[in-house]
Structure 1
Amino acid sequence: MGLLDSLQKDMVAAMKAKDKNRLKTVRMLKAAVQNEQISVGHDLTPDEEVGVLSRELKQRKDSLEESKAAGRDDSVQELEGEIAVVQGYMPAQLSADDVKAVVEETIKAVGATSKADFGKVMGAVMPKLKGKADGKLINATVKELLG
């Protein structure tokens, strides 16, 4: 069962349960996936689906940070709920230790020795970890290991 089928099924379940926040989030995710399908002109591959979910999750996390900074508690609770729903559709995320192991392996493969090689390492490691780990965690891990 594809992501769209899963979203449709969950949308119906949320309607029956009268869970308005979950319903709203699932509808937004479904629309984002459908819009991406239209823009690329074919059914999305699992990697492309994860890319859409990652983008939606990042948008919500950014909005959450802004809402916290502005002291908007109502918005913070709503966004935390949306983030939980989106994360439910994401593949399992790697732990910080797993990310560190992949980054260390990549640093050795690239032959990086200093912070000047940061771009090389990020360019090599991001395709390996895309959708499997948070970009900020990867970035911080690379900086820590190179610095």
Structure 2
Amino acid sequence: MLKQRLQDDMKAAMKSGDKPRLGVIRLINAAIKQREVDERIELDDTQVLVVLDKMLKQRRDSIAQYEAAGRQDLAEQERFEVEICQGYLPAALSDAEIAGMIDDAVTATGAAAMQDMGKVMAILKPQMQGRADMAAVSKQVKARLTG
């Protein structure tokens, strides 16, 4: 379980005195706990991946903003957080795997035009969560359905 791994890594970071890593793991745990409290549920691994994905998207947006503002120090901190968060995600899908999954989803839904994009994405999102940049996948689906 991903939550247990996070707890174990937090304890290890405490024991080794790795404060930067400990801080990031605590941020992840806080985000998970917040969602559990808000929705009154216990998150499973798939839902934890959704939380991690959201955190990564926020960090990437922050990096772009910090770099545009010339704040390399803050951008580096965000990059460090991205690196730690990515360590808890499953292996990323290759471009060929993504293309194959898109083809399968288009075939399964019988999608032929842009109005079918929601059906295709509904199939792809659970399969790719935490393993691919969904914004990039969305662009590929759009290109496939319009071209």
Q: TM-score range by the shorter chain?
A: 0.7 to 0.9
Q: Distance in 1 between matches of 2:36 and 2:118?
A: 31
Q: TM-score, normalised by structure 1?
A: 0.86
Structural mapping, 1:54-65, within 5 Å? 54-65=53-64
Aligned to 1:130: 129
Q: How many residues align?
A: 146
What corresponds to 1:94 in structure 2? 93
Give the superposition deviation at 1:112: 2.5
Contact 1:14 1:20 in 2 (8 A): yes
Alignment partners' CA distance in 2, 1:137 and 1:14: 34
Seen in structure 2, the aligned counterparts of structure 1 residues 70 and 44 have a Cα distance that, compared at 3 Å, is same
Q: Following the alignment from structure 2 to structure 1, what is the Cα–Cα distance between the partners of residues 3 and 104? A: 35
Q: What's the counterpart of residue 42 of structure 1?
A: 41
- Check the 8 A contact 2:6/2:29 in 1, yes or no: yes
Question: Which residue of structure 2 lines up, in the alignment, with residue 10 of structure 1?
Answer: 9
Q: Report if the CA contact (8 A) 1:68-1:76 is conserved.
A: yes
Give CA deviations for 1:51-83 in whole Å, capped at 9, x if unaligned. Answer: 111111111111112112222100111111100
Aligned position for 1:75: 74
Specify every segment of 5 or more residues in structure 1 that has no aligned partner in the other structure, as ranges: none
Q: TM-score, normalised by structure 2?
A: 0.86
Which shifted more, 82-91 or 13-22?
A: 13-22
Provide the alpha-carbon RMSD of the alignment.
Answer: 1.9
CA contact (8 A) 1:110 1:120 kept: yes
* Aligned residues of 2:3 and 2:45 also touching (Cα < 8 A): no
Moved over 4 A (4+): none
The answer on whether the counterparts of 1:15 and 1:23 sit within 8 Å (CA) in structure 2 is yes
* Alignment check: 8 A CA contact 1:21 1:78 kept: no
Give percent identity, aligned residues only. Answer: 37
